[in-house]
């Protein structure tokens, strides 16, 4: 048979590597060809993917620019949202404080004051009787009584409107309105019986006195405690609003700082990336955006801290004193009514004297003091305070004020209040001395007289000094509240607009670089 030639294949040397597979997927554009790594034993080792690809980040320059741009836009949106939320929160809080919280406290303290003085003027009318020489004083008492009755009715109406939606407040106000009507009925009956009998001063008709006892008992055990509860409830609500707003502003500041720092970091990162890749030292739009972001961050932080400061001044430095002093004024008028009750209702004189002293202690509490040594102890306490303003030996409403003196002229005004209060207290001792020595008519005349050096004149001096002190704190509250409310919404919205401009500048600054890759 003919021979058949056979071609033998030469075996491949074991140390030779096979040719690269050219049929695999194409390499990304711009990626250099790299030979696969080979182990010492000739085994192919797969090359690790770049870190960017392992993290799911774009591998190309345009992709990375777009990613950074998107992150900057997202941070701008977060900053805008934080600024708008801060503005809305602050604006709503000041609107609530100025339009509802503070006025409700004022209405409640005003109600307490009007009710207390109503009862004092009712007692004065009955006490003065039909004595001709005291007719002018009785007309004055009747006029003030009518004025306070109108004030009380107005305050009750305001509180009823404000209490809508709050079941507890609605119940308290409704009960106060009902009790106020019952009081007016008792007061009208007492005045009618007094007019019908036309007795002289200090000789009140027993029927009129019984009607007054019913009315004043209703005032002291129902109406005034109800008014005091309204003061406390509304003041606590105001304090809760201010505290919550302060806490929310602290959270808002953290949110603004976080969003602002993130945005600023991304803008700087973009600038550095462009410098490294494109050899451009400064990108003007990005540089402007970075400066604006820094300005927004600083301004927003200062503004939020300023709002917290305005809240602290308005609520604690000023309004805490307003509340303490207006309550002091209301209690003082009720104490002044106790003097009239002491002279009007002699069988219960000791009880009314004790009530007067209890209210004096509410105003300026001196530990272990009695009515006998109250004047001497108050003088010693003020001497100690003048020597050292940190040595405060009294509490009560006046103690609250002296521990919260903040504003220009407030300390001197507070000391003037104590000085006039002590004069009034000394006149009270003279009034009781007249009554206990059998000079009841002279004591009554001294009690209601506005002549210099007599009881109502001294009380008027005290009240004038107290109203001046209240005015200092009220003015400070109104100023702080006005400054806080001013630009509380417009400034954050303006900063939010600046944050939107930052986003626009970031887009503008990257557009030329991205165009180069099209």
Q: What percent of the chain has pLDDT over 70?
A: 87
Q: Bigger pLDDT: 21 or 322? A: 322
pLDDT digits (tens, 9 = 90+) for 257-300: 999 999 999 999 888 888 877 776 778 888 999 999 999 999 99
The per-type count for the chain, helices as H runs and strands as E runs, is 16, 2
Q: Using CA atoms, how far apart are residues 292 and 490, in angstroms rounded to an integer?
A: 18
**pLDDT at residue 415, as a whole number:** 97
Query: Which string of b and e fits 401-433 if b means at least 16 CB within 10 Å?
Result: bbebbebeebeebbbbbbebbbbbbebbeebbe
Residues 480-491, mean pLDDT to the nearest whole number: 93
Residue 367 has what DSSP assignment? T
Q: Bigger pLDDT: 423 or 5? A: 423
Angle CA 134–137–138, to nearest 5: 85
Q: How far is CA 387 from CA 314, 384, 394, 400, in A?
A: 30, 5, 15, 19
**Residue 73 CB coordination number (10 Å):** 17
Q: Using CA atoms, how far apart are residues 289 and 504, in angstroms rounded to an integer?
A: 9
CB 477 within 8 A of CB 318: yes
| Confidence check: pLDDT of 47 > 80 | no
Q: What is the DSSP string of 77-103?
A: HHHHHHHHHHHHHHHHHHHHIIIIIHH
Q: Bigger pLDDT: 270 or 463? A: 463
Residues 52-59, mean pLDDT to the nearest whole number: 55
**pLDDT at residue 36, as a whole number:** 56
CB 238 within 8 A of CB 315: yes
**pLDDT at residue 490, as a whole number:** 92
| Confidence check: pLDDT of 138 > 50 | yes
Of the listed ranges 102-111, 286-295, 505-514, the least confidently predicted one is 505-514
pLDDT digits (tens, 9 = 90+) for 407-453: 999 999 999 999 999 999 999 999 999 999 999 999 999 999 889 99
């Amino acid at each position: 048979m003919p021979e058949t030639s056979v071609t033998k294949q030469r075996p491949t040397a074991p140390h030779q590597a096979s040719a690269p597979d050219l049929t695999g997927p194409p390499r990304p554009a711009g990626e250099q060809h790299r030979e696969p790594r080979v182990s010492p034993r000739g085994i192919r080792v797969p090359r690790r993917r770049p870190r960017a690809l392992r993290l799911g980040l774009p591998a190309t320059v345009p992709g990375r620019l777009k990613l950074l741009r998107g992150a900057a836009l997202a941070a701008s949106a977060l900053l805008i949202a934080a600024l708008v939320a801060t503005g809305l929160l602050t604006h709503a809080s000041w609107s609530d404080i100025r339009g509802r919280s503070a006025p409700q406290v004022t209405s409640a303290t005003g109600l307490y004051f009007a009710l207390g003085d109503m009862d004092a003027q009712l007692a004065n009318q009955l006490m003065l009787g039909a004595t001709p020489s005291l007719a002018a004083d009785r007309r004055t008492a009747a006029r003030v009584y009518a004025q306070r009755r109108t004030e009380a009715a107005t305050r009750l109406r305001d509180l009823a409107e404000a209490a809508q939606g709050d079941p507890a407040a609605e119940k308290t106000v409704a009960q106060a309105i009902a009790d106020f009507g019952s009081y007016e009925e008792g007061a009208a009956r007492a005045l009618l019986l007094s007019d019908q009998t036309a007795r002289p001063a200090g000789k009140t008709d027993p029927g009129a006195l019984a009607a007054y006892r019913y009315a004043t008992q209703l005032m002291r055990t129902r109406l005034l405690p109800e008014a005091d509860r309204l003061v406390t409830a509304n003041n606590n609500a105001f304090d809760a609003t201010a505290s919550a707003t302060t806490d929310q502003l602290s959270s808002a500041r953290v949110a603004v700082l976080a969003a602002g720092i993130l945005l600023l970091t991304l803008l700087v990162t973009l600038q550095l990336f462009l410098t490294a890749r494109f050899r451009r030292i400064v990108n003007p739009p990005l540089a402007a955006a970075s400066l604006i972001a820094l300005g927004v961050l600083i301004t927003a932080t200062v503004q939020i801290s300023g709002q917290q400061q305005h809240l602290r001044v308005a609520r604690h430095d000023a309004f805490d004193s307003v509340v303490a002093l207006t309550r002091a004024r209301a209690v003082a008028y009720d104490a002044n009514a106790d003097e009239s009750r002491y002279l009007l209702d002699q069988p219960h004189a000791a009880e009314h004297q004790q009530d007067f002293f209890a209210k004096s202690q509410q105003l300026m509490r001196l530990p272990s003091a009695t009515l006998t040594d109250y004047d001497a102890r108050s003088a010693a306490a003020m001497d100690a305070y003048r020597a050292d303003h940190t040595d405060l030996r009294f509490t009560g409403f006046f103690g609250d004020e002296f521990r919260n003196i903040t504003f220009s002229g407030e300390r001197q005004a507070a000391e003037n209040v104590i000085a006039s209060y002590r004069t009034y207290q000394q006149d009270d001792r003279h009034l009781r001395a007249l009554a206990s020595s059998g000079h009841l008519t002279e004591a009554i005349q001294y009690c209601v007289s506005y002549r210099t050096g007599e009881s109502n004149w001294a009380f008027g001096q005290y009240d004038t000094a107290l109203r001046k002190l209240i005015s200092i704190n009220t003015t400070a509250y109104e100023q702080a509240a006005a400054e806080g409310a001013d630009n509380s919404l417009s400034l954050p919205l303006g900063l939010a607009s600046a944050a939107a401009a930052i986003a626009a500048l970031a887009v503008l600054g990257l557009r030329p670089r991205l165009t180069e890759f099209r």
